[in-house]
Amino acid sequence: MKTSKIINRLFALILLATVFVACQDQATQEEINPLPTLDSPSATIKICEPVIVFPRVTWNEFYDRRRRTCVTYFNSFCLDPNTVGIRLICHEIPLKIVPRPCIEPLCGKFPLIPRKLFEKPEIDATIIFPYEDYLVIQRIKKFDKGAKNSLTKFATSLDIGKEVAAELKLPGHIIKEGNYITIPSVEEEMESIFIPRENLGGF
């Protein structure tokens, strides 16, 4: 009986030692293969906040409030306030690497809203949302394969609306004139324009 008990205890100790080693191996493996970080090519960022939605935003036009329509005006966007909406996006958004050569200070990664999250994923459909120190205008647009990062000139100020700006807790509803970094995403057919928060005014 004593011999049997000793053998059983030895088996139990061997089993415990095996489990302990396996746990150590698993922990070591997790340290070697950590979860993706923001520096990883496959990283995403969780966005869960309201965004401004326009079904169509055209370039080289301006919204004439008197005529209540878009009119020709070079280097400007037409934002029709009658079509604006606010929508809550709560989704994992992929972080894309800024194509090189980049334009300082935007030389890292940026979130790109998937087309499926647009209410009408058609050319000129636009989502505007705050991200870190910027207000980002993302618009569905076709590009030539050789499209590169550039500066988009706003020849006149752009009013996104007091109500929607307040909803997004922005410091202002008017985008000032200026040159803004623009990143083309050729494969996704998306354009991203970055407006620094300090270039918002109007409240």
In terms of Cα–Cα distance, which of 12, 20, 90, 110 is closest to 49? 90
Give the residue ranges of the chain where pLDDT is below 70: 1-42, 203
Query: In this predicted structure, what is the pLDDT of residue 44?
Result: 86
Query: In this predicted structure, what is the pLDDT of residue 157?
Result: 93
Burial of 139 (0-12, 13-18, 19+ CB in 10 A): buried
Query: In this predicted structure, what is the pLDDT of residue 8?
Result: 46
State the sign of the Cα–Cα–Cα–Cα dihedral 117, 121, 127, 131.
Answer: positive
H helical segments located in 37-188: 162-167
Integer Cα distance of 199 and 194 in angstroms: 10
Query: In this predicted structure, what is the pLDDT of residue 32?
Result: 31
Query: In this predicted structure, what is the pLDDT of residue 139?
Result: 96
CB-based contacts of 48, cutoff 8 Å, min separation 6: 88, 89, 90, 91
